[in-house]
Amino acid sequence: MGGSATRSAAREVILTLVVAAILIAAMPLLIGTYTLTVLVIYGMLGLSLGLIWGFGGILCFGQAAFFGLGAYIYAISAVNIGESTLPMILAVLLTAGFALLLGAMMFYGRLTDVYLGVITLVVTLILFKFINSTAGPQYVIGEARLGGFNGIPGFQTLNVPGDPGAYIWGDALYYVCAVALVIVFLLVTWLLRSSFGRIAVGIRENETRMALMGYDVAARKTVLFAIGAAIAGLAGALFASWAEIVTPTLFSLGQSAEIIIWCIVGGLGTRLGPVVGAAGLAYLEFVLGQQSMIDNTLIMGLVLVIFVLFLPRGLVPAIASLWQGSVGAFGRRRPVRRMRRARHG
């Protein structure tokens, strides 16, 4: 049984790597790498919420807070350090640490889903208001001025570790971000296949039953919450390096809502769904941004309503069900044809 599961996991990893390699190589032929880079980053951000909401049952309206924190921590650290490797690590670790403290207060406080959503939303709005109010010269961390609504420009972007002069930008940045997304995707897959991941899904299905079985539900939800925040922090740091500026709009309510829409449209409870939803809707928004006749917000709202009404499980589960149905129907037809041939000799 264990050997079969191991072989199945190995096949899935190989398939993931092969498909990812083909997509990474082929997509620049269709879309510019500058746009592809941000789509990949948004895919990673969508995956971070898909992990904690789709598999942990934790509806978080504050994923934009972790995204923005990762970006600001990277920018502030890069200004002071003058190199990107340590700031990238700090963006992940400090964002995870912040989420760990916030999650411990919420989950050990036994807050229900509604209050979890409200608190994470309020934290996002607090950070948004605070960062907007830091325009004065007194708001300085080391050599980095927070800049208020103007944000922080002019920091060290991603470079080869140990060589601040060797910048990673353009096509190279796209490939780095794409590889990072694949690695994060495989780590999430490994986490969900582990006992921790299976228990997290059990908590999502029936939290009381898992608690009665002796599992520390609050601790496991806190850790999962922090892991999702760490992924969002990494996405934020990569976004900062791509945009070369960070502003308070990263913490905006609109950003928080978009991440939730990505997960719903792509398909909750799947690993690929939030990635596809994020990249697809972000590209749709990019295309619509080139015209001024229709408001983007109206289109995004319409897409959400259509999916909730007609594809409530999301795009990826719907495609998977359609594929399985067609393959199953094809498999059923083949034995019937063989029986007919046997009867007619």
Structure tokens at 74: 């990277």
| Residue 107, CB-side half-sphere exposure with 13 Å CA sphere | 25
* Angle in degrees, CA 72, 74, 80, rounded to 5: 105
Model confidence over 117-159: pLDDT tens digits? 999 999 999 999 999 999 988 999 999 999 999 999 999 999 9
Nearest partner of 246 among 257, 230, 235, 256, judged by Cα:
235
Residue type, 96: A
- Could you tell me the CA-to-CA distances from 82 to 142, 147, 174 in Å, in that order? 12, 19, 22
Model confidence over 244-272: pLDDT tens digits? 999 999 999 889 999 999 999 999 999 99
Question: Residue 345: is its pLDDT beyond 70?
Answer: no
With residues binned 3-state (H G I as helix, E B as strand, rest as coil), the percentages for the chain, rounded to 5, are: 75, 5, 20
- Any idea of the CA torsion for 199, 203, 208, 213, to the nearest 10 degrees? 0
Question: Residue 203: is its pLDDT beyond 90?
Answer: yes
Residue predicted with more confidence, 296 or 161? 161
Model confidence over 228-241: pLDDT tens digits? 999 999 999 999 99
Q: How many CB atoms lie within 10 A of CB 178?
A: 25
pTM of the predicted protein model: 0.92
Q: Tell me if 22 sits within 8 A of 162, measured CB to CB.
A: no
Cα 324 to Cα 169: distance, rounded to the nearest angstrom: 41
What is the pLDDT confidence band of residue 110, given thresholds at 50, 70 and 90?
A: confident
